[in-house]
Structure 1
Amino acid sequence: MRNDKLSVQSMDFAISIINLVKELKLNKETIISNQIGRSGTSIGANIREAQYAHGKADFIAKLQIALKEANETGYWLELLFKTDYIDVETYRALDAACANIRVILIASINTAKGNKDN
């Protein structure tokens, strides 16, 4: 198990998304739950893949994919909130966690792009 901040946060977020998907499916919501389930768990999967990248370009590409997935997940969260599938507290908590992951991903990508030694 990885213990770096980004890996831990993305794993915790994926667990929250899986639990959300379970709840949504109990309420017979399948369209958005399938989408958010894929994008929300893909963030951590791409971060994990980046840790074994085949060089700096591959590392950056995997983190950029994770960032795109995080952005997509933010969209699905907003849509779930605006269609009353999740309450404001759930939305704010998950959106804040997702936004925090995006901030770390952006910083990591910028750092990796700035490191010319690799």
Structure 2
Amino acid sequence: MMNDTEKTIFNAIENFQIKHGYSPSLTELEEETFYSRSTVRYCIRSLEEKGYLELDRQVRRNIHLRNMPELIKDVKESIYDNKRTISEDAIMDILTILHNEISNSNRRKNII
């Protein structure tokens, strides 16, 4: 189970990935959460040990949330690739709905 600090960092990672389609850097996490670099690193390691995320130590921006499908990134890219112009607010609404549906589905799976 996550403590409050881990939840804050996890949510910051999740929100950043939804918005940008890639993982935040440590500096971006520090700025977003107002935690020190050592606290951010400690929590990332702890979240990895608890199975909430995976780290690919071969590349930068290497945080991968478990159960965070590529679907969100694919939807965002397909919306931008389309010739029509869609407001960023509409895109964020779509991504938020998808994210909430996926999160609720994953929570139900973990309960069973």
Given the two structures, how large is their TM-score scaled by the length of structure 1? 0.30
Larger helix share, 1 or 2: 1
Return the structure number with greater relative CO, CA threshold 8 A, min gap 6.
1
| Bigger strand fraction | 2
Question: Which TM-score applies when normalising by structure 2?
Answer: 0.32
